[in-house]
Amino acid sequence: MTKPDAEIVHFDNVGLRYGADKEVLTDISFTLYPGCFYFLTGASGAGKSSLLRLLYLAQRPSRGLIRMFGTDAITLPRERLPGFRRRIGVVFQDFRLVPHLSAFDNVALPLRVAGVSEREIARPVADMLDWVGLGDRQHARPATLSGGEQQRVAIARAVIARPDMLVADEPTGNVDPDMAMKLMRLFESLNRLGTTVVVATHDVHLIGKVEGSLLMRLDKGRLADPTGALRYPPRRDASTELAAP
């Protein structure tokens, strides 16, 4: 059983507004634990992407407290942000691949940012691209890849550095069902190694196919808890169930 002090992310009464508009997220409180697999659902405009932006430290909240990896993320000095961001893998909804870099270089980017030598980069990046079925497109630029291929490159980039937490915004939106399941298996594999996974999706079928996953649902900027994801201990011991093949 995961201990409460081993929380990886803790939101307490968090609110977010852009400019003077009304809040897009209101009174958000939850805790994410290591090794758990979370789905985040909600209608368009419910605030999923905004919540994910807070999770991958692209945005500071308007109010409330956020603790990540045991540290107060609100008062975190700017110069310490890169170290935290390297512990978070992100799959952006719009992929956000670097257009002038090849698929290989895009996937290698987190490793290069982390200062890994070129000699140590080649093999894992090639293996990762093989795994997502793009072994023969290593040198292709994003503009020459299909939407699904770009999405797989984005996913490979998010997981290549084996992050402590993976945040994915609609990661299977542009791939066929087979590839979607394959990518979910990839996330599960990462999850079994201890990575906390947060996947925002509309695909309810996908949610049921990941055993032990926990569900958070956003409705008009407020969070609901259909599977007990926000309670401790979680209703289902995800780390035990996900360990099964």
Partner 1 sequence: MTLFGRSLSIPLPFRRDPGDARLLPQGHLSGPMPWVIAIMIALTVIAAGSGLALRKAARAASADLEGGVTVQIVTAAPVERDRQAAAALAALKAAPGLATVRRVPQGQLEDLLAPWLGTRPGDDVEALPIPALIDVRLSAPATPDRIAALRARIVPVAPAARIDAQASWLAPVFGAIGALQWLAGGLIATLAFATVASVLLASRNALGNHRETIEIVHMLGGTDRQIARVFQRGMAVDGAVGGLAGLVAGVGVLLALGRAFAPLGSGLAGPAMLGWTDWLALAAIPMLGVVLAVLTARLTVLAALRQML
Nearer to partner 1, 112 or 235 (CB): 112
Residue from 55, 78, 85 nearest 163 by CA: 85
Of residues 59, 55, 61, the one with CA closest to residue 87 = 55
Distances (CA, A) of 64 to 17, 35, 74, 75: 12, 25, 9, 12
Rounded to a whole number of angstroms, the minimum distance from the CB of residue 129 to partner 1 is 11
Pick from 162, 223, 155: which is nearest to 16 by CA? 223
Residue 175 has which token pair? 């791939």
Distances (CA, A) of 78 to 53, 60, 67, 88: 16, 11, 15, 16
**Footprint of partner 1 on 150-189 (CB under 8 A):** 157, 160-162, 186, 189
Indicate the residue among 99 and 178 with the shorter CB distance to partner 1.
99
**Could you say which of 21, 115, 143, 244 contacts partner 1 (CB under 8 A)?**
115
Is residue 143 a contact point for partner 1 (CB under 8 A)? no
User: Which residue of 20, 143, 193, 244 would you call a contact of partner 1, by CB under 8 A?
Assistant: 193
H or E stretch at 72: strand 71-72
With binding defined as CB under 8 A, does residue 131 bind partner 1? yes
Residue 101 interacting with partner 1 (CB under 8 A) = yes
Stretch that binds partner 1, among 44-52, 109-117, 135-143, 215-223 (CB under 8 A): 109-117
Interface residues with partner 1 (CB under 8 A) are 56-60, 78-79, 81-86, 90, 96-101, 105, 108-118, 120-121, 123-124, 127-128, 131, 157, 160-162, 186, 189-190, 193
